């Protein structure tokens, strides 16, 4: 973080490098490799770059299909700095207020804001007794943010001793507790407990078992603000692609990788879906981590990430996404609305553990036209609504047959905040976990890859330096530090760090 890398720093060893996948982790890795002097080719199986940060354009509407919130915009600036440039004026990243408007099951509404005075006033409205609790809790969250995000997020965790070194500190921070247990020790009101725990779901963490370290998300949001990219998040993708190409990198869209060739446990090249080959000894996979090993290294003997081990890992839920446009505006809606169903823990257990669809779902509604009219034709709005749902591992939901019905019921649920909405919808596009599997190659169609439990984090997560083949590196949500745009950008920074270490010692 806060790149200390000199602009256009040159690597000791210049190589032919390949990056598999153009999610934010892959794009950032490709930019950093190219800026270090490696001749880099970025292979993407889809026809568009961005991975989860894709875009759908239909009838004058622009819909992002993935991340909508940028929480640490300085990390984008760092990417430009490492390429010897400054973020261009055309890439406008603007703050959003309120961060979220949270609708609770009893009809109460919490405006979740960044500035302390408004936040405390809102807490007081719900439960005056919890104001003091929040004041004690926030500095602890800040501590998590400083240690886990700022300091350990860019610490490689490639050796067991790395983990042993931080273990006493993790014990002191009580990382073994869940976010829900941490928040519950400061906040009494059950509704406020939901308000301060739901955001671990944004990286696929179950609030009742994700490590309390992830309570840092609230501090991270308050420290750097919540932001929106004008034109939609895919504009950020477009700018990063331009930067990579400007640096001399090659982007090959619609060009899936079939196999990582690694005889004698050393990378020698790639077999591509179109039957051609790429030769080189430096490969960075941003493809789904489990599938990098299961499919792209299917016939390579693996010491650590065997199919059996990957099978036993816990995966994050799937996502049910509807992008839709309307022929009227809803100025009463906030940019980000959360609608929490009455069942909280039980609903999450249905999704994470039982693999069944809860009814009703808890929803996140994105209404970017609020701040950005360019996304919809005159007089209309572009929306997306997102819900965590079971991933495909248990196979209990027949997505092809239930998705239209489920979309109808989700849109009906939205009428609680946008009366008459359904009669103004002019188009809709639905994504289920099947699309995450088929389009993006996500194992079990999970939204955020491995569940971020303590035993699947840091050293326990697949490492950024692969244990399976020399010359293979991993970036993206399935490796350290984990999912979310800041997390995957950190993984690319880590890549640069471990390559610099390699160069120093070779
Ligand atoms: C709906 C949704 C909303 C989200 N909202 C937010 C948010 O608001 N803020 C936030 O910070 N995070 C958010 N996240 C999380 C965040 O978007 C992701 O964690 C992050 O973007 C994942 O990036 P990644 O680098 O892991 O790559 P991915 O985006 O997963 O991309 C991987 C790429 O690899 C490609 N690929 C796979 N296999 C191959 C192959 N064999 N050959 C070539 N290419 C291949 C895929 O096609 C894909 O393009 C959200 C995620 C989703 C799904």
**Averaged pLDDT, 346-371:** 97
Residue 467 tokens read as 């244990």
Per the document, the length of the chain is: 506
- For residue 51, how far is its CA from the centre of ligand 1 (angstroms)? 5
What's the whole-number mean pLDDT along residues 252-261?
Answer: 98
Could you tell me if the CB of 432 is within 6 A of ligand 1? Answer: no
The DSSP symbol for 145 reads I
| Confidence at residue 414, expressed as pLDDT on a 0 to 100 scale | 98
> How far is 411 from 433, CA to CA, in rounded Å?
19
pLDDT above 90 coverage of the chain, percent: 89
147 confidence band (pLDDT: 50, 70, 90): confident
pLDDT at 129 over 60: yes
Q: Residues 224, 74: contact at Cβ < 8 Å?
A: yes
State the closest ligand 1 atom to the C-alpha of 321, by its place in the atom list counted from 1.
1
C-alpha dihedral sign at 138, 140, 145, 150: positive
Residue 5 has pLDDT above 80, yes or no: no
> Which residue's CA is the closest to the ligand 1 atom numbered 33?
21
Q: Give the torsion sign (CA, 427, 433, 437, 442).
A: positive
CA separation for the pair 318, 432 (Å, rounded): 7
Cα(332) to ligand 1 centroid in Å equals 31
User: What is the Cα–Cα distance from 210 to 181, expressed in whole angstroms?
Assistant: 10
CA of 69 to the centre of ligand 1 (A): 14
The Cα-based distances of 396 to 346, 354, 356, 391, 401 in angstroms read 17, 9, 6, 9, 12
| Strand bridging mode 381-389 / 318-326 | antiparallel
| Cis ω for the linkage preceding 481 (within 30 of 0) | yes
Return the SS3 of 448.
coil
Show the domains of the chain with their CATH numbers.
Answer: 16-53+67-90+230-313+451-505 (3.50.50.60), 115-225 (1.10.405), 317-438 (3.30.519)
Mean pLDDT of 411-416: 97
Which of 264, 314, 267, 321 shows the shortest CA–CA distance to 292? 267
Evaluate: CB of 388 within 6 angstroms of ligand 1. Answer: no
Is any ligand 1 atom within 6 A of the Cβ of residue 368? no
Tokens of 295: 């499919």
Determine if ligand 1 sits within 6 Å of the CB of residue 485: yes
Report the alpha-carbon distance of residue 479 to residue 434 in Å, rounded: 22
> Is 21 touching ligand 1 by the criterion CB < 6 Å?
yes
pLDDT band at 1 (very low <50, low <70, confident <90, very high): low
Look up residue 103 and give its DSSP letter.
E
8-state DSSP, 200: G
- Asked if residue 473 lies in contact with residue 285, where contact means CB atoms within 8 angstroms, the answer is yes
Give bridge partners of residue 430 from the DSSP assignment. Answer: 322
Q: Is 433 in the pocket of ligand 1 (CB under 6 A)?
A: no
Torsions phi, psi for 422 (to 5 deg):
-60, -35
pLDDT at 6 over 80: no
- Our answer on whether the CB atom of 46 is closer than 6 Å to any ligand 1 atom is yes
What average pLDDT is seen over the chain?
A: 94
Which alpha helices (H) appear in 89-129, and where do they start and end?
116-126
pLDDT digit string, tens, across residues 445-496 = 999 999 999 899 888 999 999 999 999 999 999 999 999 999 999 999 999 9
Query: Among the atoms of ligand 1, which is closest to the Cα of residue 26?
Result: 25
Dist. CA 486–CA 224, nearest whole Å: 12
Q: What is the pLDDT of residue 62?
A: 98
Q: DSSP string spanning 456-491?
A: GSGGGSPPSB-SSSBTEEE-STTSSS-SSHHHHHHH
Which candidate, 407, 410, 308, places its Cα nearest to that of 362?
A: 410
Other Cβ atoms less than 10 A from the Cβ of 238: the count is: 19
Q: pLDDT at residue 393 above 60? A: yes
Q: What is the pLDDT of residue 198?
A: 96
Judge if the beta carbon of residue 226 lies within 6 A of ligand 1: no
From 19, 20, 23, 367, mutation site for ligand 1 pocket: most ligand atoms within 8 A of C-beta: 23
Looking from the CA of 227 toward its CB, the CA atoms found within 13 Å total 22
Mutate to test the pocket of ligand 1, among 20, 21, 53 (most ligand atoms within 8 A of CB): 21
Strand, coil or helix: what is 240?
Answer: helix
Quote the pLDDT of residue 4.
43
**Per-residue pLDDT, 10:** 53
Question: Which residues, at least 6 apart from 210, have a Cβ–Cβ distance to it below 8 Å?
Answer: 178, 179, 200, 451, 452, 453
Q: Is the CB of 317 under 6 A from ligand 1?
A: no
Whether ligand 1 lies within 6 angstroms of the CB of 52 is answered as yes
Beta carbons of 174 and 182 less than 8 angstroms apart:
yes
CA count, 13 A, side-chain hemisphere, 211: 20
CB atoms within 10 A of CB 164: 10
Give the single-character DSSP code of 286: -
């Amino acid at each position: 973080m806060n790149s200390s890398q000199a602009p256009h720093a040159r690597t000791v060893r210049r190589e032919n490098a390949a990056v598999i996948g153009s999610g934010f982790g892959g794009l950032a890795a490709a930019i950093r490799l190219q800026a270090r002097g490696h001749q880099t080719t970025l292979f993407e199986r889809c026809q568009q770059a961005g991975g989860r940060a894709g875009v759908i354009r239909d009838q004058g509407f622009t819909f992002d299909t993935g991340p909508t919130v940028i929480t640490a915009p300085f990390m984008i600036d760092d990417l430009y700095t490492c390429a010897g440039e400054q973020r261009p004026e055309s890439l406008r990243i603007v703050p959003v207020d309120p961060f979220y408007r949270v609708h609770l099951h009893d009809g109460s509404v919490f405006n979740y804001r960044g500035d302390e005075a408004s936040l405390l006033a809102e807490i007081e409205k719900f439960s005056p007794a919890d104001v003091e609790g929040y004041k004690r809790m926030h500095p602890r969250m800040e501590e998590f943010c400083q240690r886990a995000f700022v300091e350990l997020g860019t610490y490689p965790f490639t050796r067991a001793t790395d983990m042993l070194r931080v273990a006493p500190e993790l014990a002191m921070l009580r990382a073994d507790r869940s976010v829900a247990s941490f928040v519950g020790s400061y906040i009494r009101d059950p509704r406020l407990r939901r308000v301060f725990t739901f955001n671990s779901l944004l990286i696929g963490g179950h609030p009742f078992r994700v490590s309390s370290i992830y309570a840092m998300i609230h501090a991270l949001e308050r420290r750097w603000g919540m932001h929106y990219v004008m034109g939609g998040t895919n504009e950020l993708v477009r700018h990063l692609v331009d930067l990579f190409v400007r640096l001399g990198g090659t982007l090959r869209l619609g060009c899936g990788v079939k196999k990582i060739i690694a005889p004698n446990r050393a990378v020698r090249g790639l077999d591509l879906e179109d039957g051609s080959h790429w030769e080189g000894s430096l490969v960075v996979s941003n493809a789904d981590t489990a599938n990098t090993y299961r499919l792209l290294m299917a016939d390579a003997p693996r010491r650590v990430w065997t199919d059996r081990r990957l099978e036993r890992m816990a995966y994050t839920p799937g996502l049910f996404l509807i992008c839709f446009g309307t022929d009227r505006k809803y100025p009463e809606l906030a940019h980000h609305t959360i609608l929490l169903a009455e069942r909280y823990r039980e609903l999450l257990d249905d999704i994470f553990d039982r693999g069944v669809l809860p009814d009703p779902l808890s929803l996140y509604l994105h209404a970017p036209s609020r701040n950005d009219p360019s996304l919809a034709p005159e007089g209309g709005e572009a929306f997306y609504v997102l819900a965590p749902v079971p991933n495909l591992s248990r196979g209990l939901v027949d997505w092809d047959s239930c998705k239209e019905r489920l979309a109808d019921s989700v849109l009906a649920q939205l009428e609680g905040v946008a009366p008459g909405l359904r009669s103004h919808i002019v188009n809709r596009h639905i994504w289920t976990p099947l699309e995450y599997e088929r389009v993006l190659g996500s194992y079990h169609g999970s939204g955020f890859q491995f569940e971020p439990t303590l035993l699947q984090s840091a050293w326990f997560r697949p490492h950024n330096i692969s244990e399976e083949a020399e010359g293979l590196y991993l970036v993206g949500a399935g490796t350290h530090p984990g999912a979310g745009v800041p997390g995957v950008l950190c993984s690319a920074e880590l890549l640069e760090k471990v390559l610099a270490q390699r160069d120093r010692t070779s």
